[in-house]
Amino acid sequence: MVVLGAGFAGLAAAQGLAGLGVDVLLLDRHNYHLFTPLLYQVASALLDPSQIAHPVRATVRRRRSLRVRVATVRRVDLDHRLVETDRGPVAYDHLVVATGSTTDDFGVAGVDAHAQPLKELPDALALRNHLLSQVESAQWETDATRRRTRLTVAVVGGGPTGIEYAGALAELLRLVLAREFGHLDQREMRVLLLEAGDHLLGAFAPPLQRYAVDQLRRRGVEVRLGTRVTAVEGGRVRLHDGSEIEAGTVVWVAGVRVSPLPGLTGAGDAAGARGAVPVTATLQLPGRPEVLVIGDGAAVVQDGRPLPMIAPVAIQEGRHATRVIAAQLRGEEPPAFRYTDKGIMATIGRHDAVVEVGRWRLRGFPAWVTWLLLHLMLIISFRNRLLVLINWAVNYLFYDRPVRLIVRAGPDRDREAVEGPGPRG
């Protein structure tokens, strides 16, 4: 058995398959599992990377039949049942594809060169370095316009990641950095949240959408709805109405699309929405029952709507992959997949969040406590749970962000933060 990807879906599938007593090989280009829901807290200097990333081998070491290898997958040869990697070919009898998603620029010019994504751990570290470097260099800026530009952050995308990062960033700038850089005018520290639609948090109920907008604006975030970005340039964002926003930092969290894997779909198969691969009701590749596609990469429609690219869906699909392969090994008909909706949630800032589970809706402090508890439960290791809880407590009690470090590995690729706006490093 070969599983591609150690994200939520792949890890759940690999652990389940190992429990069947079969040999499992888990391939990923990283040696860690990343808890992506808290990635924005690394980018906003609240958490250390090691607190949301856990070595895969440490997670699965009790599964004796599960091996982990680090490799970059190049393509899949369905006819010969081979996975081609940068380390050589890997044969499989059953294949579970959980290669996840990547940032979608929607064809907007300049996103790749001038905007900061927030999808992977290196993205969060680069964004943290860039943002803190902009604040540092603003101290030396004598021109008021250039100083305001350096201290302006434009967050593009009004989904959960966008509002969570915008809220966290507003608190970082006004509650932490403003005290340490007291000579800087707080009015020059701006956080803008740009959303092309007429509301934030599209999957939530309208009352919670409106509540999120109100609470973000109370925290000083400039929320602009119906604002479509047409281009990102060095130090500015161009909008659909021809206007521009001068911003030293542009964060692109407008959406994701499936990470392409050549050879996966087979001849004649068309990609679904956002590049997702069409699968059967059992999550198997049509005509290839030995191949399952799960997580963000699977185009699964339930009750007439595609399932969202979120961790709960991925985890349930990963567990279902085990049931499908177990049925195949027994010579039985594989069961169909049915997602059980556990609800959606997003935090806005200190003691504030929105939660929706069916018809049950929470907002404010009760929602925030619910958000905290659930995320603590989902973090893999006890050590990481404890460290995250300590950092959250320190931040809540003392208005402190403990990881305000500008640390770069290798050559300095973020020199534009000091020398002027330019391509993303």
Residue for token pair 């068309």: 270
Label residue 369 left, alpha or beta by phi (over 0 means left) and psi (-120 to 50 means alpha). alpha
CA distances from 351 to 167, 334, 335, 366 (A): 11, 45, 42, 8
| Strand ranges inside 63-197, DSSP E | 66-70, 73-77, 82-85, 88-91, 95-97, 101-103, 116-117, 152-156, 190-195
Residue for token pair 């402090």: 365
According to DSSP, the β-strands at 244-246 and 236-239 are antiparallel
Q: What is the DSSP letter of 266?
A: -
- Residue 210's φ and ψ, nearest 5 degrees, are -65, -35
For residues 48 and 268, give the distance between their C-alpha atoms in angstroms, rounded to a whole number: 45
> Two tokens at 282?
């059992």
**In sequence order, what are the beta bridge partners of 347?**
353
CA distances from 215 to 148, 218, 287 (A): 24, 5, 50
Give the residue numbers annotated as catalytic, written as ranges: 164
